[in-house]
Structures are given as structure tokens and as C-alpha cells.
Chains A and B, each alone.
Chain A
Amino acid sequence: MRLIIKDLCHRYDDLVVLDGIDLTVQEGEVLAVIGPSGCGKSTLLGIAGGIVAPTSGTIAVAGEVPDGCLNPITFIFQDFALLPWRSVEDNLSLVLEHHPLSAAERRERIESGLRRMGLWDFRKALPKQLSGGMRQRVGIARALAVRPAMLLLDEPLSALDAQTRELLMEDFLSLWQRERTTAVYVTHNLDEALRLADRVVVLSRRPGRLREIVTIEEPRDQRLEPSAQAHLAEVRDRLWHLIRAEAQLADREIADA
């Protein structure tokens, strides 16, 4: 599925957050969005997913949805957004209960999602009994249970420690290796963007405007190879150069506010 954003502007009262965003996310592509704090990355994702109404501009999708897809555009949240009073399997069940599925199919989707994320043995656990990494895996399993055509990931690893981040990045890599699900991945972490994305969109500080789109040529599965390091370091420097000064200014703005 493709996502087409045209001339998108968004403001909160007098505060312009996004201005004139034109962007197309290609089918099967992983597009990372980076930019200074407060530049509207998460707002852009919210608008793309239909949970924030844009002030102006259009958002459209095109292309086929996979068989059995119940929620074409599906979020994975930074804070996991799990219901603390529901067990792991019931958190997955929540997003299936309003669809006309047989009990067997619902069970199959829950089991398949949990097994893929290595959570089957924890299906009866409550979220509070899980580590941060496992909670995010539940969030991913919940997203997979609806067989999405497009994933919108809002800083999904930022609440996790470095080791867990690494493990979950491997999970995302194997997911995109298998299924080629289109994804928009908002992050403030350049290394995550370089490791996971096909293209990286750089937004300016508020109001967020599209500054540059950087394509990463190396195939995702070869980015840890020594031969890829020099080029990735170059791309990283370029990205950092693009956002460094603005990140500093944005930081001061937040401190002043």
C-alpha cells in the first residue's frame, strides 16, 4: 500500500506545526522520519493514520491490502498503549473483537502474533509483569494480529534500553524481510533510521518542513557488514549535519518555553 501526502499543513491554534509537506511512501518501503524535537514528526504520523485531523492538505492511500487485513493502517506506539487490566492475549483480542471473525480465527491470529514475537508462554501475563521490551513486543504482536498493510511506528524503541532496542531492531528487520509491509518509522535516533529505513526524511524545526530525503542504498540485511560502514558513516554525518544546528535551536526553544 502507498501513502500519498499532499501539501499538508497543521496548526494548534496559532502554532504552525507542519507546513507544506509533500511526501509519498512507496509500497513495501520503510521510510524513517527524523527531525528536531517538536518538529511535528508524531503529528505527521497521527495525521497519516487518521487520528489527528489536518488543518489543510490531503492524505490518501493507494494499492492492494493483504488478505485478511482488518486495519490497513496500524500504529505501534512509543508507550506501548497496552490495557493494564487485560492479559497479553486479551490485549491482542481487543483489536479483533469488533470484527466478524470466528472464535477459531481469532484464536489463530492471537496465537500466530504471540508465537512470532516469542510471547506465547506469557499470554496470560498482565503488562505490569513484563519488561519494557516484552511490552513493546506485545504492541507489535497486536499490530500483526490485524495483518496491516502499513505500519506507523511512533518512536517505538525510545522508551527501551540499548540492548532491548537492538533486539527489537532485529525483530523489525526479520519482520520486514518476511512481509515487506510498508512502514513509516518516526525516530530521533539516527542509528535506528540508518539500520532500518530505505529512505530517511529530514524535517526542519517547527514549523516542520521537508528539508531533505536521503536514500540509503545498502540492503538492510548488509548494513552491519564492514563494507557498508564507510558509506553509512557518511550518510550519518550528512543527516547529523542537517539536523544538528536546528536540534540545538529547538532544544533552546523548549528550554525557554
Chain B
Amino acid sequence: MPDTSLPMTERSAAPPQPVRFRGGGFTVKGHRWAALLAFVVLIAVWESTNRFGLVSELFLPPPSAVASALAAMAQDGSLWQHLKASLMRIGVGWVMGTVAGMAVGFAMGIGSVARAVGVPLVSAFFPIPKIALLPLFILWFGIGEPSKFATIGFGVFFPTVIATYSAIDSVPRNLIRMAQSFGLPWASILRKIVLPGALPGILAGFRITASIALILVVAAEMIGAEYGIGAFVLTAGNLMLTDQLLAGVLVLSLLGLSIGTVLSILERRLLKWR
């Protein structure tokens, strides 16, 4: 319907000018194929530097050689042997550190005494590079698996504590007040409000601790292990088998990606409400 509410003179005084669009940019758009293309270009450039003799194969073997080394490892079974050892260490160490870290983080999140005691301790211990403690753990627990579990567990513990109590702090206090005003018991408030409310922060912490566990397992295996991706990478480096070394690094990268994917799936399932 035309707007006839203005007098005729107002409507026809000057020729209308189109309003120039000024709202472009500053928005992030999805480019589905860009990442894939970037990988393809990177691998192509890398491969061609070797093919054209620009870089020695000893110092940087081409992707095709790395892929062949990986295939050979998979065929002779050594890949699975190393991977199994690393996964077991990551799994046990991460679970130990996470369970203990969540328990302490929860105590610090809801208890003022636990927080008063815990915050200075966590602040003091958190910055220590945990791998520096491996010799001490070897002294305590021996060269076998327990010292590696302890290193990974200790490394995972502190970030989990911090993530958990920060996540509890971020639970809106109005929800807790609401629950109290309806007379919900303390345990119900913890289970039905604090825990689900803190879950996004706790899961974000899992991402960080999974990466820490991966770094620590490689470092621990480099110091004292027969099997494991870290041990394999170190041996390959010592023998100048750079194609195998990079195959090991590739396995670590894929392992990190897989852990990230599992956590993403977990987040999508558990945090559908966001």
C-alpha cells in the first residue's frame, strides 16, 4: 500500500536517491573447502620441493615417503604396538588426573575452606613443568608404567582443578538461589544445578588436559620406554630415519585430532541446550 499520509509536495519534492549499503564485512562466513584446499596445497608444495631436489630427503622426506613408512609400520604391526602403549598411558594417566582434579576442583568450587587452602597450592604447583618431575617419579615408582601414569596424571590434575572450580564459579548464582527458594536439598542443588551448569567449563578443560596428556606421554616415553609413539619417534630420530620419525609425528597429530573429535561429539551430546 503506498504511503499517502504526507502532503503531495512533501512526497514529490526531490528525486529519491538509493541508500548506499554500508553494512558489509566484519562477519565470519563458512568456507567449507578452504581448509582442505590449504592441506592439499601444503602437501603439494612439500612433495614438489623434494621432487625438484630443493630439500634433501634426509632432512625433510616427502609426504609420499612418510605415507609409505606409515603403511609399512601398519603392515608389520609396530604401529599398533606403539599406539596401544601410548593410548594406555594416556588413558590411565588422564583418568587418574581428571578424577582427582574434578574432586578437588568441586571441593574448591563449593567450599570456602577448601578454596582458601587450595588456591595458593594450585597456583604454586601449576606452573611447574611436569616432565621435570619424571626423574623423581621414576625414583619413587620405578622406570615402569606407574611413573609415566603419575607424570601424566599430575600434569592433568592441576588444569582440571582450575577448570572445574572456575566452571562452578560461572554457574549463575540466581539459579542456586532459585533452587534454595524452592527448598531443594543441598545434594540436589549440586547434582541438578551446579554439575550441569559447570559442565561446559569442565568439558572445555578436558580439551586442554587431553593435549597436555598427549605432550606428556611423548616426553615420558622419550625418557624411559621401549614402546610408545614417543619412544618410536626418538629411536627413528637417533637412526636418522626421518620418514619414520615424521610418520610417528603424523600419528600423534591424528591422535590429537581423534581426541578432539571425540570431545566435540561429547560436547554436542551433553550441551545440546546451548
Contacts and interface: CB of A to CB of B under 8 A. Distances in A.
Contact of B178 (A75, A98, A126, A146): A75
Contact of A128 (B178, B179, B183, B273): B273
A95 interface: yes
Interface in B215-272: 271
B59 interface: no
Category for how many chain A residues contact B: 20 to 34
Contact of A83 (B177, B196, B271, B274): B196
Given A98-B188, A126-B273, A71 B175 contact: no
Interface of A: 46, 49-51, 70-71, 73-75, 77, 79, 81, 83-86, 94-95, 97-98, 126, 128, 146
Given A97-B192, A98-B188, A126-B273, 14 more contacts: A50-B181, A51-B181, A71-B183, A74-B181, A77-B174, A79-B174, A81-B175, A83-B193, A83-B196, A83-B197, A85-B197, A85-B271, A94-B192, A95-B184
Given A71-B183, A95-B182, A98-B185, A81 B177 contact: yes
Contacts, number: 49
A160 B236 CA distance: 66
Interface residues of B, number: 19
A94 B184 contact: yes
B174 A81 contact: yes
Contacts of B271: 85
B174 to A, nearest CB: 5
Nearest to B270: A85
Contact of A98 (B184, B197, B274): B184
A98 B185 CA distance: 8
Nearest to A128: B273
A98 B188 CA distance: 8
Chain B interface SS verdict (over half):
helix
Contacts of A73: 181
18 contacts: A70-B183, A73-B181, A74-B182, A75-B181, A81-B174, A81-B175, A81-B178, A83-B192, A84-B273, A85-B196, A94-B182, A94-B192, A95-B184, A98-B183, A98-B185, A98-B188, A126-B273, A128-B273
Nearest 3 Cβ contacts at the A-B interface: A81-B178, A85-B273, A95-B182
Nearest to B184: A98
B180 interface: yes
Most buried by B among A71, A74, A83, A146: A83
A84 B183 CA distance: 20
A100 to B, nearest CB: 13
Most buried by B among A46, A49, A98, A146: A98
A81 B189 CA distance: 14
A56 to B, nearest CB: 22
A179 to B, nearest CB: 19
B175 A146 contact: no
A155 B182 CA distance: 18
Contacts of B188: 97-98
B196 to A, nearest CB: 5
A46 B175 CA distance: 14
B9 to A, nearest CB: 35
